[in-house]
Amino acid sequence: MNADLFSAMARAVVDGDAAAAAELAQNALAGHIPPAEALDKGFVPGIRTVGGLWEDGEYFLPELIASAEAMKAAAAVLRPALEAAGSTSDAPGTVVIGTIEGDIHDIGKNLVSAMLTANGFKVIDLGADVKLTVFLETAESAGADLICLSALLTTTMLGQRRFIELLVERGLRSRFKVLVGGAPTSRKWAEEIGADGYGESAPAAVREALALLGKVSS
């Protein structure tokens, strides 16, 4: 039963068992479970539970790292299938994505990147801990339409605001659409800093990106 598989996936992440997580991800693919569903219903709830355990002081950094590794092992198995699920139609746009400087969290950003790729976008993924000027220079040289900024820390979310200011300073604000996301951010935050959009999850990021580029109404 899929519910058992999903709870085993969450458990593997909570236990920090990368081998089990990778095997369960393989099982999902073998069982024709869509990779996005395996993430949404299995692995992501697991890492969110871990976040709660950390906040409650039950988990410390070693457990957090082990769980993150398990999450990454599962995502690595699912990612090719996630990307292959994409359409082959013309790219709806070119996206530059990364996690803001000072922030090494990249699990959520990688999911957004994979889902954008799956939906036909040309995605330039700069990784984590990316300088604001690198986002900008890459977007300019690639002729990007959209810049996606991920931040998981309350300190680095300020970099999202700074990035918009940088665009304004350089007279480039109207050149690019900017989409922000990451656990501490919100639609209210996006509005406050003058971003064009916000996505609370990878599917929401895709919907928002398509809407911002005028491909579908939001």
Residues that bind ligand B12 (CB under 6 A): 44, 47, 50-51, 54-55, 61, 64-65, 68, 102-109, 111-112, 148-150, 152-154, 179-184, 199, 201-202, 205
Give every CB contact of residue 44 below 8 A, 6+ residues apart in sequence.
Answer: 111
In whole angstroms, the minimum distance from the beta carbon of 98 to ligand B12 comes to 9
Q: How far is the CB of 41 from ligand B12 (least distance, A)?
A: 12
The nearer residue to ligand B12, 33 or 105, going by C-beta atoms, is: 105
Which residues is 181 bridged to in the sheet?
A: 150, 199
* Nearest residue (beta carbon) to ligand B12: 108
Within a 13 Å sphere around the CA of 212, how many CA atoms are in the beta-carbon half? Answer: 26
SS (H, E, C) 19-67: HHHHHHHHHHHHCCCCHHHHHHHHHHHHHHHHHHHHHCCCCCHHHHHHH
Residue type, 138: T
Residue 105 beta carbon to ligand B12: minimum distance, rounded to whole angstroms? 4
Nearer to ligand B12, 29 or 76 (CB): 76
In 3D space, the residue among 192, 189, 162, 194 whose CA is nearest the CA of residue 177 turns out to be 194
* Nearest distance, CB of residue 205 and ligand B12, angstroms: 4
When the beta carbons of 1 and 146 are compared against ligand B12, the nearer one is 146
Cβ closest to ligand B12, residue 101 vs residue 171: 101
